[in-house]
Amino acid sequence: MVTRVIDNPGRGKCAFFSFSIGLMDMIKHQCARDPRGRSAIFETFQNLSVAALGLSSVDELNISLDEIKKFNYNKQSFQLLDKMQRCFRHIIYHHRTSDLRAGGLNFDNGVGPTAFFDFNELVRCFAKNDFQSAQFIGLINFPAARAYAEKAANEIKSIMKRLTEWYPSKRADEAYTTARNKYMLKHFDHYASEIIFKAFNDDVYNQAGEVNDSSCIVAALRDVTVESRWGTHQDLDELAHIFNIKLGVRTYSERGSYQNIPAGAAFTLNNWGNGHWNTSLTFLGTFAGKKYDTFTKDSVISKEEIKEILLTYTTGWKSIFTPRHHLDIAKQLIKDCDNETINVTTIANKLSRYMTETNFAKNSSFIKRAHYIIARAEYSLAPAKDAGKFIEPSSLNL
């Protein structure tokens, strides 16, 4: 297998563009495997987008499955990428606000609302005067939420000062001071957590336990829907959680690279110094028919690609001066490629049966093309857990 880095237009939307490209690749593979050419991921995307954008039907979404299947990684449709990233922004916002309304701050299952974790992190950054890290937390872009977080942080600083303020008058007290400070620092997190928890609860929920309409934190959550707002690692992790997929991430910085790629990751996103995101996809590697890789424009083989490869066998000067013993099947398959009612699976099965029933010359140029087409089809049709596994053409059973 080979891994190709697929870039995107960026323009402040690269995080969501990179996720779009990865998700579209999954949708293409699902369509290739499904007899009806459908994708469960695409249907989930449609339903989530309709709910998040407040549309009355999927028709208003204006993103078709056919549009995604035709997406070309080399000649990208900015219009499609832009529509998808807009949907992702609103899906995240809808998910975060729904979390808040689902049942308040309940951490019994070890999971809490994203808004709380953002607020918690922002307050702690301010308390430590770590303004650089704070810049990557979405709530900071909303002045009222920022001011509210700074207020909570100042309260933490005030308590920290009172707890650690001690001026020993005797040298013998220094050992006690050291032990006391260690104890305070060890147990201080409890005090800080109480302040943050209370501040969040007071702003977000009213006395009836319902979400407060005037909450500055809730208002700040809408920041993710602003087109110019950069996507964050947390945004992408949340999208992966929403779509129930395993996401791999590689981070490159001046200090080196770090990767977190779980087994069975659907695709991998690359973070380049917190300045740009792009996507790594796996494609079928080269083998005996490697010269036909030049026709590969997608990780999923299409009828157009099959037709282009077979035309190199049926047309051109070589087809005139070189014996062609398999013209009939090649022409039949080309005709099938032009038939809208016939899919890649049917064509690959037809070619596979022909290969099983036919004797080929040792250096047959047709068999090389056939091996490549079938191997590409097998990769396209493989379940997600096998999509990165190369299968020898001789073992195929399409």
Instruction: Dump pLDDT digits (tens) for 140-199.
Output: 889 999 999 999 999 999 887 776 665 555 556 667 667 766 666 666 778 889 999 999
Pull the structure tokens for residue 260.
């977190």
For residue 280, list its beta bridge partners.
Answer: 5, 268
| Maximum pairwise Cα distance, the chain | 104
Model confidence pLDDT, tens digit, residues 216-264? 999 999 999 999 889 999 999 999 999 999 999 999 987 778 888 877 7
What are the DSSP calls for 85-118, one per residue? Answer: HHHHHHHHHHHHHHHHHHHSS--TTS---HHHHH
Cα 146 from Cα 119, distance rounded (Å)? 9
* pLDDT-derived band at 297, boundaries 50, 70, 90: low
The pLDDT assigned to 396 comes to 33
For residues 300 and 29, the answer to whether their CB atoms sit within 8 Å is yes
SS3 183: helix
* pLDDT-derived band at 119, boundaries 50, 70, 90: very high
Cα 172 from Cα 178, distance rounded (Å)? 11
Strand 256-260 and strand 247-253: the pairing is antiparallel
Per-residue b/e over 243-270, b at no fewer than 16 CB within 10 Å? bebebbbbbbeeeeeeeeeeeebbbbbb
Question: Tokens 């529509």 correspond to what residue?
Answer: 83
The percent of residues above 90 in pLDDT, for the chain, comes to 49
Model confidence pLDDT, tens digit, residues 332-343? 999 999 998 998
Give the type of residue at 237.
Answer: D
Has residue 351 got a pLDDT over 80? yes
Q: Starting at the edge strand that comes first in sequence, how are the strands of the sheet with 276-283 ordered?
A: 2-6, 276-283, 267-272, 247-253, 256-260
Residue 202: CB atoms within 10 A of its CB come to 13
Q: Considering the entire predicted model, what is its pTM?
A: 0.77
The pLDDT assigned to 161 comes to 78
For residue 249, list its beta bridge partners.
Answer: 260, 269
The pLDDT assigned to 389 comes to 36
Q: What are phi and psi of 188, to 5 degrees?
A: -70, -30
Model confidence pLDDT, tens digit, residues 65-98? 999 999 999 899 999 999 999 999 999 999 999 9
Give the residue, 301 or 288, on which the prediction is more confident. 301
* pLDDT-derived band at 268, boundaries 50, 70, 90: very high
Q: What are phi and psi of 387, to 5 degrees?
A: -65, -20
* Arithmetic mean of pLDDT, 11-39: 91
Cα 50 from Cα 188, distance rounded (Å)? 45
